[in-house]
Structures are given as C-alpha cells and as structure tokens.
Copies of this chain bind each other. A is one copy, B any other.
Amino acid sequence: MNSQDLQSNATLKDVAAAAGVSLATVDRVINGRPGVSDKTTRKVNDAIERLNFHPLAAAAELARSRPCRFAVLLPRGDNRFMADIADNIRAQAAWFRARRIAVEIIETNVFDADTLAAELAALTGRFEGAAVVALDHPRIRAAIDDLVESGMAVVTLVSDVPSSRRAHYVGIDNIAAGRTAGSLIGRFLGGRSGRVGVVTGSAALRDHAERLFGFGQVIAEEHPGLSLLPPVEGRDDPQQNRALVARLLADAPDLVALYNTGEGAAGIGAALADAGAARRILCVGHELTPDSRRLLLDGTFAALVVQDPGHEARSMARVLRALVSGRPILPAQEQIRVEVILRDNLP
C-alpha cells in the first residue's frame, strides 16, 4: 500500500525538455492559458504525465506573490463569541503577514440593514476579499451581490445569506445545531413532560431563527410530552435575559427546561440562581465563553452546542485565499461542525 513510491520531483524545466518546448509553453498548458496548438498541448500533457510532474506550491506562490487585502465585518458590541472570532483572526496575524495578506477587522452595527449595506458598499475597490457576519435582508443581499459583481471574493461568516451570490459560507448548519439542542434536552429529560422556555437573541438573525426552527422540529416530532413556550428575545444581553428568565420562572411552574439560542448565558444563570432553580431546570445553550464554561462546570447548563471560532477563522482565511487566487478549496477541511460540549469534553 505504499503511497508515493513514484515521488518524482520533476520540474517545469524537465517537462519542457521532455516535450521539446519552452518553459512558457508548458506554463500556458498547465495554467490553461490560451495560445497553444492542440498538438503541442498533447505533447506537453504527455510529458507531464510521463514525468509525473506536480508544480511546487512554494515556487508558484513566490512567483505570483501579489499582496492582497481582506476585510472582516463583525458585529460591534460585547458579544463574546464574536470577540473570540476576532481574537482568533488576530492570532493568525503571523500567518497572514507571511503571505502578504492584510486583514482589516471592521466592527459595525450588523443589526441595521442600512448601516451594514453602506459599510459593505464602502469596501468596493479597497479589498480583494471580504468575510461578513450578515443579516439576512434584501438590502444586504443586494450589497453582497454588488461586491461580487465588482470582482470581490465574498464569504458569509457564522450567519449565512444563502440567496446572495456569496462564494462560500463559513459556519455551521444552524438547523442541525437547533435540532441537536432539542435532542439533548429531550433525552436528558428522559421522558419527563412539561414546558420548555426558549430565550433567543433576535429573530432577525438567520442563525438564531434556524436554531429555533430545528429545535422546535425535534421537540414536536420526538418529545410530545414537552411543549414550547413562546420564545422571548433578549438580544443576547445578560441583563435582559435575566429579567426574561425570572418572569418565565414565575409564570410557568411546570417549566422543566430552558433553551438559549444565543449568548447571554450569564443572565440565565443568575435568574436561575436567584430562584434557587439552578440544577433543577435543565439548560442547554450555545457557544463556549467564560460564562457558559463556568455554568457548564457548575452544572447549571447540561450541555452546550458550539462551533469552533478558531476553525472558522482559519477556514475563512484559507477559503478567501483560495478564492482570490482561483484555486480549489477542500470541502472536507472547511466544513464547520456542530459540536456538543459536556462538562467532560470541555476543551
């Protein structure tokens, strides 16, 4: 099963010699540039095959080597998960610099379509690529399409705009994430019945909406003993979440579980602690932050459904780079997984 006994290390020059043509011609064939006769093309391809030629990545990069600029649009505010993404992008600074990639992180009000659309429009011409955490809104879709039209490589990050012409989505399947949360709650409850409270950030964000959808699906299909209370919106803000959960606890005595589709876990933990209901109400939320980690460790949360911000930052970088240099991406490596974190497999 020896993989590569036939490691060849032939160079472009070898191919040129073998085919009886010049370097430039071989280059044209390899990179699919026009202006080569069929006969010559065949000769070259033949030589490539025979010598088992494969271009050396470093040499090609060096020779191409155009500096390039990426913009990353992140929501402004104290969202911890977004801060993690930003940190992970910054942690790659050395990687970027070593490849002459300049990345600019732009924080903006992602919730306001006009602001975001304007911010997107302002990118034109200044960057070769952009990643954006975007609201799924017609105006945003149009702004993304305009950028793509202008030749920019655009990817969505964390929350997708599937109807746009973005080249790629770097993030998880949020319906699956919601379903996973639903299954965890359903199964951890072990057949008990009762009401389940749902705290969400904002129904305007596609990722939250999709999670809610997936969650509802599973509860309805597979756990008929459970019924969902109407979702309450806390904007991912701990203070608001605290108040909302306090009310939930007061209003619904048969509350058995809580699902938080977004952030602000600290508020939920506080409300539960206030009511002395901390490990009695089963809680599942999303994303790993210092707060959610603490609440997972102390048992307030039973599980967290997460995505890896480090993976997302790296994937974004690789994908944008591949896109601007016209190379293929490896789908397997770029698929961001829906992960389940219990106290025991906390990274």
Copies in the complex: 2
Closest Cβ–Cβ distance, residue A182 to chain B (whole Å): 7
CB < 8 Å neighbour of A58 from B65, B90, B345:
B65
CB < 8 Å neighbour of A189 from B4, B56, B177, B190:
B190
CB-CB contacts below 8 Å: A73-121 with B: 86, 88-91, 93-94, 96-100, 102-107
A130 at the interface (CB under 8 A from B): no
CB < 8 Å neighbour of A57 from B99, B176, B183, B188:
B99
Most chain B C-beta atoms within 10 Å of own C-beta, residue among A57, A59, A107, A305: A57
Q: Is there an interface contact between B56 and A102, defined as CB atoms closer than 8 Å?
A: no
User: Which of these binds chain B: A231-239, A261-269, A334-342?
Assistant: A334-342
Q: Is there an interface contact between B58 and A4, defined as CB atoms closer than 8 Å?
A: no
The CA of A305 and the CA of B339, in the complex, are separated in Å by 11
The CA of A310 and the CA of B342, in the complex, are separated in Å by 23
A250 at the interface (CB under 8 A from B): no
The CA of A56 and the CA of B5, in the complex, are separated in Å by 31
Q: Is there an interface contact between A58 and B99, defined as CB atoms closer than 8 Å?
A: yes
A37 at the interface (CB under 8 A from B): no
- Cβ–Cβ < 8 Å partners of A177 in chain B: 345
Q: Knowing A59-B62, A103-B3 touch, does A9 contact B344 (C-beta < 8 A)? A: no
Q: 14 A–B contact pairs at CB < 8 A?
A: A2-B104, A3-B89, A3-B102, A7-B102, A9-B67, A56-B65, A56-B98, A56-B100, A58-B58, A58-B65, A188-B190, A190-B191, A190-B192, A339-B340
